Amino acid sequence: MTRALEQEAGSLLGFDIVDGPNGSTNQVTQALADHAEQDLLHMITKDPNRTPNFILFANPDYFLTSGSATPLCTPEYNASSCFSQQSDFAWNHGDFQKDITKTWLGMVGPGVLKRGTFGEIFSDHTDIRPTILALVGLKDDYTHDGRVLFEALADHSTPRALSAHRDTLSALADAYKKINAPLGELGLTTLTGISTTALKGSDATYNSLEEQIKAITNRRNEIAANMIEMLENAAFDDQPINEAKAVQLIGQAFDLLDSLP
């Protein structure tokens, strides 16, 4: 039943009612993810009741809601009954596109560089906690998924290991985000490509591609664990990095990205 619903969800059509009651069609579904892809995207928690069978990521032009009525939503059966336009409503959450997920982080205070607005560094919510801890000189035994945003901090406010290896660590952090962040290159590529193709496809295609996703996730986890350990040790234990090892890890991350179909 789930497989049938996944396949049907992948072929959903929407209607652009701006063009009239039976406006032009477009795809409602932009991406699909079941447990394998959710695992790659770090969306599975310890509570199995919070893990859906699969997730439909929609065209950002649509806000999807459920209702009790079940009209036939096709051009032949009055599509306008299933789609409406409201000029006073906008939404910006629950999807993966840049116009929904791209936001900003403001930082000010002792130890923070006065760089103004800049967007060269990819960061996400997981980076905020370690950055604050580093600024106030604290650490604990919490295992971070994010890293210290040392590019926005003054050298005097960070351990010597960070300033001594700033360029290499910045490249390492960038590669780490590319393969480990849900909105990084690996996450977006597998979500919109392999995962969506798998869920929309035949059972044979599904089984083959699901195994690919699992193998990619296992390899990613191995590389990312070594990367974040190096970043955390430098940021919180002032531990100098092995430059050759860092370069090797960066190469492994890009090799993984290059291996994607």
Q: With respect to residue 49, please indicate whether it lies within any of the assigned structural domains.
A: yes
Q: What pLDDT digit, counting tens, does each position of 132-158 carry?
A: 999 999 999 988 999 999 999 999 999
Q: Which of 147, 100, 99 is nearest to 121 (CA)?
A: 147
In one-letter notation, the amino acid at residue 161 is A
- Segments forming the whole domain that contains residue 66: 2-98
What's the CA gap between 65 and 138, in Å, rounded? 44
Q: With respect to residue 92, please indicate whether it lies within any of the assigned structural domains.
A: yes
Q: How confident is the model at residue 18 (pLDDT cuts 50, 70, 90)?
A: confident
What's the CA gap between 39 and 243, in Å, rounded? 30
Q: With respect to residue 80, please indicate whether it lies within any of the assigned structural domains.
A: yes
Calculate ∠ Cα 224-251-181, nearest 5°.
35
**How confident is the model at residue 87, as a pLDDT?**
77
pLDDT at position 70 over 70: no
Q: With respect to residue 241, please indicate whether it lies within any of the assigned structural domains.
A: no
Q: With respect to residue 32, please indicate whether it lies within any of the assigned structural domains.
A: yes
What's the CA gap between 85 and 18, in Å, rounded? 8
Q: Which long-range contacts (CB under 8 A, 24 or more apart) does 23-28 make?
A: 23/79, 25/75, 26/59, 26/61, 27/59, 28/58, 28/59, 28/62, 28/64
CB 54 within 8 A of CB 2: yes
Most confident of 20-24, 142-146, 172-176: 172-176
Q: How many domains does the chain have?
A: 1
pLDDT at position 68 over 80: no
Q: With respect to residue 117, please indicate whether it lies within any of the assigned structural domains.
A: no
Q: With respect to residue 223, please indicate whether it lies within any of the assigned structural domains.
A: no
**How confident is the model at residue 22, as a pLDDT?**
60
Q: How confident is the model at residue 193 (pLDDT cuts 50, 70, 90)?
A: very high
CB 133 within 8 A of CB 153: no
Most confident of 5-19, 92-106, 162-176: 162-176
Q: How confident is the model at residue 78 (pLDDT cuts 50, 70, 90)?
A: low
Q: With respect to residue 188, please indicate whether it lies within any of the assigned structural domains.
A: no
